[in-house]
Structure 1
Amino acid sequence: MTVKKIVEHKGSNVITLPMGRTVNHAIEILIRHNIGALVVVDEKNKPVGIISERDILREIHNRGDAIHETPVERVMSSELIVGVLEDTLDYVRCTFTKNRIRHLPIIEGGNLVGIVSIGDVVKALIKEKDTENKYLRDFIMDKYPG
């Protein structure tokens, strides 16, 4: 299975945050949408970074009193790790593990077309294994004619 299946199921609407906004604004959006990360975009809506709950907690710990004025550019991860629609779930799972991340923006032709979380990948892998197990059980129980 590829990332494309997850994006098709989940949808390609990605909640983003324009550069220049504050960390406090990012917190408001994360809470409003019940999500764990925001892709930060430039004025042309191109991804330039990602800010996660973990990034925000670290900043609160380091500079808690200044969080209201802190620009997201100061806190976000600017070395953006991205995926493409053709990536397999196993490859993405390894990307999450190797880089210790939980959200992967999906890019096609330089444009943001989706975002996949580690939860999305785990859910898809479980569904895939459950389906495979059902067919194997049916085969063993001789439920197929022939």
Structure 2
Amino acid sequence: MKIESILATKSSNVITVRPDQSLKDAIELLVEHDIGALIVVDELGQPVGIISERDIIREAARTETVLAQTVARVMTKDLVVAAPQDDLGAILQTMIAGHFRHLPIIDQERLIGVISIRDVLKVQLDEYQGEVDTLTEIIEDQD
């Protein structure tokens, strides 16, 4: 299965933040949209990083003035990304190995979505349930 199959079930609206915005702004966006990470984009809308709930919590543990800090100070700058045609199994391995819960999806140098570990696991669970249902039918038909 390919990532594009997950993207087809999700909103194409990717919530983003700029590097110069405050962590307070980022937190408000995370809460407002009930999401766990934001893609950080430059003035041209190109991804330059990612900031997650965990990144903000780590910064809060280091400094008392966390809300005044900028996104640029806390974001992860070395983005690991995927493409819509990438295999879901390979992406899951990348996410597990890198301890990523969110992965930006880039197509022709354009941000088109974000896949979460929850999205990947839900698809796999649905596939396994389909296999269980098929095997159950086969067993019941033999009785």
Fold similarity call, TM over 0.5? yes
Q: Which residue of 2 aligns with 1:84?
A: 83
Q: C-alpha distance in 1, partners of 2:88/2:77?
A: 24
Q: C-alpha distance in 1, partners of 2:13/2:69?
A: 27
Identity %: 42
What TM-score do the two structures reach when normalised by structure 1?
Answer: 0.92
Q: Which residue of 1 aligns with 2:71?
A: 72
Q: Secondary structure at the match of 1:79?
A: coil
- Structure 2 gap segments, 5+ residues each: none
Q: C-alpha distance in 2, partners of 1:30/1:122?
A: 21
Number of residue pairs aligned between Structure 1 and Structure 2: 142
Residues 1:141 and 2:143 are matched in the alignment: no
What TM-score do the two structures reach when normalised by structure 2?
Answer: 0.94
After TM superposition, list the pairs within 5 Å mapping 1:64-143 onto structure 2. Answer: 64-65=64-65, 67-142=66-141
Q: C-alpha distance in 1, partners of 2:97/2:42?
A: 27
Q: Secondary structure at the match of 2:67?
A: coil
The root-mean-square deviation of aligned C-alpha atoms, in Å, is 1.3
Q: C-alpha distance in 1, partners of 2:64/2:85?
A: 41
Quote the offset at 1:64 in angstroms: 2.0
Q: Secondary structure at the match of 1:142?
A: helix
Moved more, 131-140 or 116-125: 131-140
Q: Secondary structure at the match of 1:116?
A: strand
- Structure 1 gap segments, 5+ residues each: none
